[in-house]
Structure 1
Amino acid sequence: MTRLCLALLLLAGLVRARADDAAPRNLRVQFIAASTSETPKTDKRLAALLPLLKNLSHNSYRLLDESTIRLPGATPLALSQGFVLALQDKGGGKVGVTITRKGKTVMDTPGVVLVENRPLVLGGFPDGDGTSLLLVLTHVAEGR
């Protein structure tokens, strides 16, 4: 009987963990142009990200796009300069990230783990105009 109770408790914990994985979550998506410039400047809308951006090799940052989307169920998101972002909820807290442009994959990650309210920077891929493009994803806590 004790083993049965223990097994049921373990199963209940697994079911709860799976339910948490499948719970909807809001993701803030920020698409940023990054460059190295003689006169460094950062878009004021990126002030909250400055401590993170200072660790990168660029010194100028400009916000191109910003959206908040809900996973699961997000559809592809059109970004500046013809880029398209697709996010897939992979389960286990992982999110697949794919960016395409003119039908070609520019970036594809099988699954990144997002920690609530902790921005994750992806990319550094060229835009063709001498700047790099960054994607910042943040799992936004409910009510924020």
Structure 2
Amino acid sequence: MNRRTLLIAVILLAGAFLIYRSLQPPERPASGAAMANVTVPQLSAQAQEGETLFNRSCATCHGQNAAGQDGIAPPLVHKIYEPNHHGDAAFHLAAKNGVRGHHWQFGDMRPVEGITDPELDKIVFYVRELQRANGIN
């Protein structure tokens, strides 16, 4: 390969890279702001237990009242997470094994350390109670 061919190849690759980068959405800093307006009902005793566990294990990312945090993690009080689309087992699998990001631009979710199935049952109960109060059935 002569120098001229190599120079043309480098210019083409650089041009392709610049075009690729220009088509990517600009990165914006995570604000951490709530992503959903969540109406919190009078919680049942079981949901209150779930709230305590959620605040311990999930709220750091998914925000207070499962409202999500801009740039960090999605709201769980959202139609995407309705029971017919993401059943209770999906919450268990995500917490236990992590999950590849597929609905949002937050990246992958890592497994939640030190959480048990009975605790997850209570957390899911809490999230479902919040969802119902916000018209997500």
Structure 2 length as normaliser, TM-score? 0.28
Q: Which has the larger radius of gyration?
A: 2
Structure with the higher fraction of residues in helix conformation: 2
Structure with the higher fraction of residues in strand conformation: 1
